[in-house]
Amino acid sequence: MATFKAIRIDKTDAGQTVGLGDFDDNDLMEGDVTLRVEWSTVNYKDGLAITGKAPVVRRFPMIAGVDAAATVESSSHAEWKRGDKVILNGWGCGETHLGTFGEKARVKGDWLVPLPPGMSGREAMAIGTAGYTAMLAVMALERHGITPERGPVVVTGAAGGVGSVAVALLGKLGFHVIASTGRPAEAAYLRQLGAADVIERQELTGSAKPLARERWAGAIDSVGSTTLANILSMTQYAGCVVACGLAGGIELPATVAPFILRGVSLVGVDSVMCPQPLRREAWKRLDGDLDRNKLAAITSEIDLNGVIDAGRRIVEGGVRGRVVVKLG
Give the span between the Cα atoms of 184 and 198, in whole angstroms: 8
| Residues 226 and 317 occupy one common structural domain | no
| Confidence check: pLDDT of 148 > 60 | yes
Same domain for 198 and 86, yes or no, is no
Whether residue 222 sits in one domain with residue 135: yes
Q: Domain of residue 264: give its range.
A: 129-268
**What's the pLDDT score for residue 14?**
82
My answer on whether 142 and 252 are in the same domain is yes
What pLDDT sits at residue 247? 87
One domain for residues 261 and 160: yes
**148/240 same-domain check:** yes
**Is residue 1 pLDDT above 60, yes or no?**
no
Q: Looking at residue 16, which CATH number applies to its domain?
A: 3.90.180.10
195 and 88, same structural domain?
no
Residue 278 lies in a domain: no
Residues 155 and 111 in one domain: no
pLDDT above 70 covers a percentage of the chain that reads 100
β pairing state of 85-89 and 67-75? antiparallel
- Mean of pLDDT over the chain: 95
The CATH number covering residue 248 comes to 3.40.50.720
Give me the mean pLDDT over the 16-27 stretch.
Answer: 91
Is residue 124 domain-resident? no
Predicted confidence band of residue 153 (pLDDT cuts 50, 70, 90):
very high
Q: Report the domain count for the chain.
A: 2
Which runs of E-coded beta strand occur in the chain? 3-12, 15-24, 33-41, 62-63, 67-75, 85-89, 104-107, 112-114, 153-155, 177-181, 195-200, 216-221, 235-243, 265-268, 299-303, 322-326
Domain assignment present for residue 171? The answer is yes
> What is the pLDDT confidence band of residue 317, given thresholds at 50, 70 and 90?
confident
